[in-house]
Structure 1
Amino acid sequence: MDQPRALVIGGGIGGLTAAVALRQRGWAVTVLERAPELTPVGAGLGLAPNAQRALDVIGLGDRVRALSAWQGDGGLRAPGGRWLSRTSSEAAADRFGGPLVLVHRATLVSLLASALPEGVVRTGTAAVLTDPGGGGRPAVVSTPDGELEAELVVAADGIRSAVRQALFPDHPGPRYTGLTTWRVVVPAPERPFAPHETWGRGRLWGTQPLKDGRVYAYAMATAPEGAHAPEDERAELRRLFGDWHDPVPAIIDAADPGQVLRHDVHEMAVPLPAYHSGRVALLGDAAHAMQPTLGQGGNQAIEDAIVLAHHVGPDGDFGAAAECVGGLAAYSADRLPRTTAIVRQATRTGRMTAVSNPVAVAVRDALIVAVSRFGPGLILRGFAGIADWRPPQHTYASGTPRQ
């Protein structure tokens, strides 16, 4: 048959990774992105070793690491500045086979897009799934320029995925967690600081360095769904975190009020029955939206993309029926249990950060201090099975195939 066609709906990190991986597997790929340009929100993204190994498969791991800041020694703090636990970047790298690195989302999106030929990505193109296809029937996607047929459609259209709703109309979809987040990128403060996350009473703050000398900071707090600051979001950050330890106040002061991003946190509390239907595969937030408490949302989208490309043959001749052991059914079988477990673990961690009762906070902090006395190994155990994941096929970071 002619070169099989794949349509990717959504030009975010997961969708672009899927496009690169599928092209390397022999697919003719088109990415349909609703936004007028590939410009992600101004925020950082932590890439754990699992996601880096996934990017190694498509030959981009080394380039990502070169563009990223490698996380140094840091830890978990209380709002007054006391260290509750210390983390060792060397111990983490030894445990999981590599370091955690931090990259700006725009940098990663640009790198992924540059790995695709000109014309593959169509921005300003809204896409609607018309027919999921199945068996010998192609899937059909409607765009403003007409209908497109494909042997595979990849739905990477985010947490409010219209494709997911079309495929699983009876599923409740993501639910609000009771938490909202803020993100900002600012110039690094003059005084040096160690990377840290700070837990207070129903509030969380994190500060991490970027490669270019800037700092990525994020915050989370309990709040009613859809709430907004009475003035601006920087003023809200001052109200919530302005009396916390250095460098938190300085970072808030350095932020441009118009560049402070705020988003409510939603999660897929009820797993989907599958991550595919017909000739359509869901990935990333469209399939398994999760709390950011483990820093795995983007990482899991990258994993999804690599595993999907692994399971769909380069000739496009794969079974699409739910009972089929290959193709998209194998993708669902691989990804559904893993991502469901990570969603639930992120939820448990979120409950710990959302504790607001003073007595409960004191107990939580005392437990963290006690556990940290046994060394970094016990703290790192919570990421076992997550950060040490390896793709079903991979190359060395140099691009040389594994023997």
Structure 2
Amino acid sequence: MGTVIVVGAGIGGVTAAVALQRCGWGVTVLERSVTLGEVGAGISVWPSAVAVLTELGVKGIDQAAALSGPTALRKPSGRWVVGAADLGVELPVMIHRAQLHGLITAEFGPGVTVRTGYLVKTVTQDDSGVLINDELRADLVIAADGLRSVIRSALHPQYAGPRYSGYTAYRGIADVRADDGGETWGQAQRFGVTQLIDGRAYWYATANQPAGQGGDLAAVIRRYGGWHDPIPAILAATDTALQNDIYDLTLPLVPFATGRIALLGDAAHAMTPNLGRGACTAIEDAGALARHLQSAPDPLTALTRYDAERRPIATKLVKRSRQIGQLGQLDNPLAVGVRDVLMSVGASAARGAAALRKMKQSRRDHSSAGS
């Protein structure tokens, strides 16, 4: 193997560092922040990402994460639109972003060097390697430097890049239990809640507004304080709220591999959070990248195969997440009413299909037992 520089020490970047270390690469992680770590609140980790982390030897996910409880979709009044049993989807585990980051970086060994407070300004490559800031050289560079990736911009200067979704997001943690999880969809705004392993409630909310307008916990209380229980109690038990305008990347996505440089995570496919799969997709990127570097005859072929596998998958997720956000943020009262009716009808159809599948399976089991 050789040397690789990972630019960015978010969840995707540190997962890539662990994965490449396990493959025998000498890894240098460059992080512009002066400290190594993550900020934020809760994060959903879906089974596919848990499988990658487990394969990479990351320990303690099951002790530090809670299975997402019963979920459902409601109106601000509290009336159910879609129940948990109707959704027919697998459930993720919930964990604080900082905890997940710490579990991954705990697997850093002597093959990983971390440099914090390092700002990447330039990247150039030739047939033998890649040069960062005219001073650091490696055989490969993995750009995990986020939504506004400096490296992606250098490789694809004509690409439009981030696209504002039209809505902002608030997130917080409350020192109360959240036994009834799920989302509530109103007119141009949504509120979701789930429970962390320590018993606290992690909540998030979205609202249509111009980019850069900002907002704080008081704004959240004004918007959602009159919604159904337990939302008022959750907000009352919250000390502060994080606020971030929501962006994703313009489609079509740029190639994830250019020569000896690979894009990973938000740098490659930043998506809106409506599927809860942004960080998970970055984790899966890291696993796929390491797998191809192990199996391909040379690094350039490996990166080409990585792009061929991951870009179509990420493109579908960006599209699907964007569509869910557009549906959830509908502003027209008539359109909101039609949306809720159609979702209720869809839920009834899903219940019927599930009952039919269960009946058929029961007959097959009975037949097998009698033979």
User: Partner of 1:336: helix, strand, or coil?
Assistant: helix
In structure 2, what is the Cα distance between the partners aligned to 1:198 and 1:38? 35
Query: 1:307 is matched with which residue?
Result: 288
Give 1:275 deviation, angstroms: 0.7
Give 1:334 deviation, angstroms: 0.7
Note closer, same or farther for the CA distance 1:355–1:309 as it changes in structure 2 (3 Å cut).
same
Query: 1:169 is matched with which residue?
Result: 157
1:16 aligns with 2:14: yes
Give yes or no for contact 1:271–1:288 (8 Å, CA) kept in 2.
no
1:123 corresponds, among 106, 116, 119, to 116
Map 1:313-328 → 2, pairs under 5 A: 313=294, 317-319=298-300, 326-328=301-303
Query: 2:170 is matched with which residue?
Result: 182
Give 1:161 deviation, angstroms: 0.6
Query: 1:31 is matched with which residue?
Result: 29
- The higher-RCO structure (CA 8 Å, 6+ apart) is 1
Note closer, same or farther for the CA distance 1:238–1:377 as it changes in structure 2 (3 Å cut).
farther
Query: 1:367 is matched with which residue?
Result: 342
In structure 1, what is the Cα distance between the partners aligned to 2:211 and 2:312? 29
Query: 1:149 is matched with which residue?
Result: 137
Map 1:275-354 → 2, pairs under 5 A: 275-313=256-294, 317-319=298-300, 326-354=301-329
In structure 2, what is the Cα distance between the partners aligned to 1:141 and 1:369? 54
Note closer, same or farther for the CA distance 1:315–1:76 as it changes in structure 2 (3 Å cut).
closer
Provide Cα deviations, 1:160-185, integer angstroms capped at 9, x if missing partner.
11111001001010111101101111
In structure 2, what is the Cα distance between the partners aligned to 1:214 and 1:378? 35
Query: 1:7 is matched with which residue?
Result: 5
In structure 1, what is the Cα distance between the partners aligned to 2:86 and 2:25? 39
1:86 aligns with 2:67: no
Aligned letter for 1:212?
A: D
Query: 1:383 is matched with which residue?
Result: none
In structure 1, what is the Cα distance between the partners aligned to 2:155 and 2:264? 13
In structure 2, what is the Cα distance between the partners aligned to 1:6 and 1:164? 17
Give yes or no for contact 2:57–2:107 (8 Å, CA) kept in 1.
no
In structure 2, what is the Cα distance between the partners aligned to 1:220 and 1:204? 5
Provide Cα deviations, 1:322-342, integer angstroms capped at 9, x if missing partner.
xxxx21111111111110111
User: Partner of 2:323: helix, strand, or coil?
Assistant: helix
Give yes or no for contact 1:291–1:343 (8 Å, CA) kept in 2.
yes
User: Partner of 1:120: helix, strand, or coil?
Assistant: strand
1:100 corresponds, among 79, 92, 95, to 92
In structure 1, what is the Cα distance between the partners aligned to 2:87 and 2:188? 31
User: Partner of 2:105: helix, strand, or coil?
Assistant: helix
Give 1:368 deviation, angstroms: 1.2
Give 1:56 deviation, angstroms: 2.5
Aligned letter for 1:339?
A: A
Give 1:251 deviation, angstroms: 1.7
User: Partner of 1:128: helix, strand, or coil?
Assistant: coil
1:251 aligns with 2:234: yes
Give 1:217 deviation, angstroms: 0.5
Note closer, same or farther for the CA distance 1:39–1:186 as it changes in structure 2 (3 Å cut).
farther
Quick one: percent identity of the two aligned structures?
Answer: 40
Provide Cα deviations, 1:211-262, integer angstroms capped at 9, x if missing partner.
1121110001111011123xxx111101211111111111222222xx3111
Query: TM-score scaled to structure 1, two decimals?
Result: 0.83
Query: 1:138 is matched with which residue?
Result: 129
Query: 2:360 is matched with which residue?
Result: none
Give 1:127 deviation, angstroms: 2.5
Query: TM-score scaled to structure 2, two decimals?
Result: 0.90
In structure 1, what is the Cα distance between the partners aligned to 2:250 and 2:352? 30
Note closer, same or farther for the CA distance 1:365–1:157 as it changes in structure 2 (3 Å cut).
same
Note closer, same or farther for the CA distance 1:28–1:376 as it changes in structure 2 (3 Å cut).
farther
User: Partner of 2:197: helix, strand, or coil?
Assistant: coil
User: Partner of 1:176: helix, strand, or coil?
Assistant: strand
Give yes or no for contact 1:27–1:314 (8 Å, CA) kept in 2.
no
In structure 1, what is the Cα distance between the partners aligned to 2:349 and 2:317? 25
User: Partner of 2:108: helix, strand, or coil?
Assistant: coil
2:69 corresponds, among 69, 72, 86, to 72
In structure 2, what is the Cα distance between the partners aligned to 1:39 and 1:377? 46
Aligned letter for 2:331?
A: S
Give yes or no for contact 1:86–1:376 (8 Å, CA) kept in 2.
no
Which structure features the higher share of helix residues? 2
Aligned letter for 2:337?
A: A
Aligned letter for 1:253?
A: A
1:264 aligns with 2:257: no
